[in-house]
Chains A and B, each alone.
Chain A
């Protein structure tokens, strides 16, 4: 009986995943037919003129995610090392609890926090009109993925076998050397998984990003200018889905954004599984 249920559940999950992919492909087909490859390379997004270029949102998503990872990975790793190696048990528990709490905060709260604190700060610091920018999205995403990186990396560091720690100590290696030569290499598979999970979260985040990114459908000028308002894949879907007519090319274009996200998320998931094993 148990075997039956396990098989049934596995099959159902696989069918649902395939069905989602099938739906996304089928729903985005009208756009593929009408736009072809220019859908990915086009820079114009004017639904009323049937122009659906995705390049600005791809660039926007890329920069916000890269910035978030650049900020959150070193910070999260440092917090994990502090927590796993340096803090006494009580401090460790407190830091870990606060990180777990942070991970549980709904993303809309982060978005509101961004509106209330981050945007005015960027506005005054960089002399911007509104503060809504890729930088704001990246900073907010960094804050949101920090707990994931910290909690998983800390677990990976603590999983390094005590005997190996003691052996490294017995060889007269000082703490920084033990960290670089033993702890980080041993914990690296876990840290890598933490980064991938955080990347997944950063990619899929919608509401918070939508509130601070500025929702401007154009390429940053120059391309690395993070102080300009921009758009990401998720923020566009979140903003325009309610306005699109079901079955229209506009609707298909938004579904295609979802398809792109789903494919990248699946790729990440596969990589995570591969590295875990």
Chain B
């Protein structure tokens, strides 16, 4: 019997009436004696993809780690759905269950594919009865057709690309309100890259997605907003087309031409 995919609705504390999902103001982060982020301002709408681009060491991944509370020693203001994340109800763990983060390198647990998908779901009974959820999130991650017949097989038997999509499904299973992706397709084959991009685009129709990438072509394909960062600062934020066609800042133009930035 085919299960009806469950529609994944983010479960979040009261949404703000306005269309802002994430608002960052004057974010500063120091790691040791090194400034990593300086005065970062960023706004994310309730839906759509925003790609973070910039040279290595620009602070892109650190920004993601601040948003989901892995770094907590920052100064400034980060508001998710109008709430200061420092005062998120239930603390940092609760915040993380609303902010899915997919790392560059896929990490699966040495368990079955199904167990991996429901790993973050709270409650033993909920995990046991999550067939519909498993199918829904695997479909959203464009993995269902490849694994539906072997959900109880070890997750390590999947290819790297499939493992990364499994990680996306696992993050979606906790019903996040914001999805952060840290170079999700680095070192993956073109087919896996394409599937993940399709998945990200369809997810972005219902939730905000912030994706770090070094691949400018990928940023172009994903569309939405582009945020260019360099040396811990946001240099330019614009919609995809205008950023790539008519970058306003000299640093952006240099980066698009030479893939380097001397800001």
Chain A residues engaging chain B, CB cutoff 8 angstroms: 161, 163-164, 166-174, 177, 181-182, 186
Contact = CB atoms under 8 A, between A and B. Distances in A.
A161 B98 CA distance: 24
Contacts of A171: 96-97, 119-120, 170-171, 174
Interface string B63-97: 00000101000000000000000000000011111
B261 interface: no
A167 B97 contact: no
Interface of B: 68, 70, 93-98, 100-101, 103, 105, 107, 109-110, 119-120, 122, 167, 170-171, 174
Contacts of A164: 107, 109
A250 B170 CA distance: 66
Contact of B101 (A170, A174, A177, A182): A170
B96 A169 contact: yes
Of all A-B residue pairs in the complex, the 9 with the closest CB atoms, nearest first, are: A172-B97, A171-B120, A172-B96, A163-B107, A174-B93, A167-B107, A170-B101, A172-B93, A171-B174
20 contacts: A161-B107, A163-B105, A164-B107, A164-B109, A166-B70, A166-B107, A167-B109, A168-B119, A168-B120, A169-B93, A170-B70, A170-B100, A170-B103, A171-B96, A171-B120, A172-B93, A172-B95, A172-B174, A173-B93, A173-B120
Contacts of A177: 122
B96 A186 contact: no
A171 B171 CA distance: 7
A167 B101 CA distance: 9
Nearest to A175: B93
A161 B174 CA distance: 22
Contacts of B103: 163, 166-167, 170
Contacts of B171: 170-171
Task: Name which of B68, B94, B109 has the most chain A CB atoms within 10 A of its CB.
Answer: B109
B96 A170 contact: yes
Contacts of A161: 107
B176 to A, nearest CB: 9
Contact of B110 (A172, A174, A181, A186): A186
